[in-house]
Amino acid sequence: MLDPKALRSSLVEVKDSLLLRGYDLDINLWEKMESSRKELQGSTEELQSELNTISKEIGIKKSQKEDSSELESKASGLTQKIKKRNKELEAVLKGIEEFLLDIPNLPDKDCPVGKNELDNVEIRTWGDVTKFSFEPKDHQTLGEEIKLLDMAAAAKVAGARFSVLKGDLAKMHRSLTQFMIDVHVENGYEELYVPYIVNKDSLIGTGQLPKFEEDLFKLNDERELYLTSTAEVPVTNLIRNEILESKELPKKWVCHTPSFRSEAGSYGKDTRGIMRQHQFEKVELVQIVEAQDSSDALEALTSDAEMILQQLELPYRVVSLCTGDLGFSSSKTYDLEVWVPSQETYREISSCSNFKEFQARRMKARWKDPSSNKNEFVHSLNGSGLAVGRALLAIMENYQQQDGKIIVPDVLRPYMKKDFL
């Protein structure tokens, strides 16, 4: 959530910044709500002041055993007016909150300006794209030929955009997860296990609600519960409504969960294989830091995610997302894109984002600054380290052999206990 003070003091600048990411702030609506808020708060304060004065007069008259019925009648009328104004003010403040919850984060000044993914800027590449002496196959063909990937069985059980992994392919999926967690724990992250079902407040806190409800799987339950779309939601919300001590920062968490998304806006995209699924798994990295440290933390978190790709020896690139391609809550994002031979292009395998205080303000997550003894909003960051299914398909395609076998990357052999699938 944006700081309402920023809208009150720098409305034009905020609007211009949001336009860079394609969001047109409704200034007229904001000014109308602000005018109502100011009028109601001002008139309520005046009525309360008048009531306080009359209450004192009533007290004096009663102490002097004089008739105070007229004043009491007037006080009763003022009390009713105040209640009415407070109810009206509550409605206006709720409208302002709903307005603010719908506004995306301001892009960082370092973000390249652009409209969509075509304007993203490549920062660096790692490794040479894989070359073959034969025509490479896509991961679905490879998996079906060795009878370890069964899309038809998944469709029978659940429908489109699901998969069944068998035997050594299922084992590689599990091994990838364990390998990623082991590397990140060794690199200073604390491992967490969290609920896969989250409540509405959690999704509001990290920015999935109210704007993106159609992308979520909601349970048919009066408690308004949802299957989590990413471990970012339950992990980051651990600090919701908390005030942390400075010695508790930074927090570095790693967590593996399944993720569930309806992919409502992806009809017709990536319909083959396991590139885009309703159910998939990620190993997620979350950092909670002081404001002054968040820019450096983003670079470090991105490097931590890159480490997995490097150890798997998968060619990839890092791109900085332009203003028009940023996620709703993000101020700055680096995408890691792994090389997919069958598509002859790089595809996203991780998004590493700095949300600054945007999520913290929605979650009321703060830390106590010992230098000022004031409570300040923390900065939150997260990124996948990595998306497990996409890492799996990247290995299948980049490590495939002409005879249909798939080489097991060196770092996975201690987990897999074999050299080939």
Tell whether 121 and 97 lie within a shared domain: no
The pLDDT value recorded for residue 265 is 65
Mean pLDDT, the chain, whole residue set: 97
* Within-domain flag for 279: yes
Domain membership flag for residue 107: no
Same domain, 198 and 265: yes
271 pLDDT tier (thresholds 50, 70, 90):
confident
* 33 and 166 in a common domain: no
On the question of pLDDT at 268 being above 80, the answer is no
State mean pLDDT over 299-316.
98
Domain-located, residue 8: no
Among candidates 307, 275, 271, which has minimal Cα distance to 386? Answer: 307
Number of structural domains (the chain) is 2
Classify residue 19: in a domain, yes or no: no
Q: Can you list the alpha helix ranges (DSSP code H) found in 216-357?
A: 232-236, 294-312
Is residue 314 domain-shared with residue 236, that is, in the same domain? yes
As a whole number, mean pLDDT of residues 121-138 equals: 98
- Please compute, for residue 15, the number of CA atoms within 13 A of its CA located in the half-sphere on the CB side: 13
Check whether residue 154 and residue 94 sit in a common domain: no
Per residue in 100-115, pLDDT (tens digit) is: 999 999 999 999 999 9
Taking only the tens place, the pLDDT of each residue in 380-402 is 999 999 999 999 999 999 999 99
Please, are residues 164 and 154 in contact by the beta-carbon 8 Å criterion? yes
The verdict on residue 252 lying in a domain is: yes
Does residue 6 lie in a domain region? Answer: no
- Give every CB contact of residue 137 below 8 A, 6+ residues apart in sequence: 145, 342, 397, 400
27-63 helix and 11-19 helix, angle to the nearest 10 degrees = 140
Quickly state the pLDDT bin for 16 (edges 50, 70, 90).
very high
Which band of pLDDT confidence, cut at 50, 70 and 90, is reported for residue 263? confident
Alpha-carbon distance of 96 to 77, in angstroms, equals 29
CA distances from 136 to 39, 258, 421 (A): 69, 30, 16
Which tokens sit at 67? 């008739």
Q: What would the pLDDT profile of 53-98 be if each residue is shown by its tens digit?
A: 999 999 999 999 999 999 999 999 999 999 999 999 999 999 999 9
Residues 122 and 203 in one domain: yes
Domain holding 51, by residue range, is 26-101
Residues annotated as part of the active site: 261, 276, 348, 351, 390
| Residue where one domain finishes, among candidates 50, 72, 101 | 101
| Residue 338 DSSP one-character state | E
| pLDDT tens for each residue of 131-181 | 999 999 999 999 999 999 999 999 999 999 999 999 999 999 999 999 999
Of all residues in the chain, what percent carry a pLDDT higher than 70? 99
Question: Quick one: 238 and 285 in the same domain?
Answer: yes
Same domain, 33 and 81: yes
The whole-number average pLDDT for the span 245-254 is: 98
For residue 278, is it within any domain? Answer: yes
- 307 exposure class (CB count in 10 Å sphere: 0-12, 13-18, 19+): middle
Residues 31, 55: one domain? Answer: yes
End-to-end CA distance of the chain: 48
Q: For residues 348-360, give the mean pLDDT.
A: 98
SS3 71: helix
Can you tell me whether residue 121 is helix, strand or coil?
A: strand
- Boundary residue ending a domain (55, 74, 101): 101
> Do 63 and 140 fall within a single domain?
no
Same domain? 251 vs 138: yes
Which contacts qualify for 406-415: CB closer than 8 Å, 24 or more apart?
406/142, 406/146, 408/172, 409/312, 409/313, 410/313, 411/179, 411/311, 411/312, 412/172, 412/175, 412/176, 412/179, 412/312, 415/171, 415/174, 415/175, 415/178, 415/179
Amino acid letter for position 199: N
Token output for 360: 């913290």
For 417, which DSSP code?
S
Among candidate residues 49, 77, 101, the one where a domain is terminated: 101
Q: Is residue 143 part of a domain?
A: yes
DSSP reduced 3-state for 385: strand
Q: Which CATH number does the domain housing residue 207 bear?
A: 3.30.930.10
Q: What is the pLDDT of residue 7?
A: 97
Q: Is the pLDDT of residue 221 over 70?
A: yes
126 strand-pairing partners: 316
Same domain (yes/no): 88, 122:
no
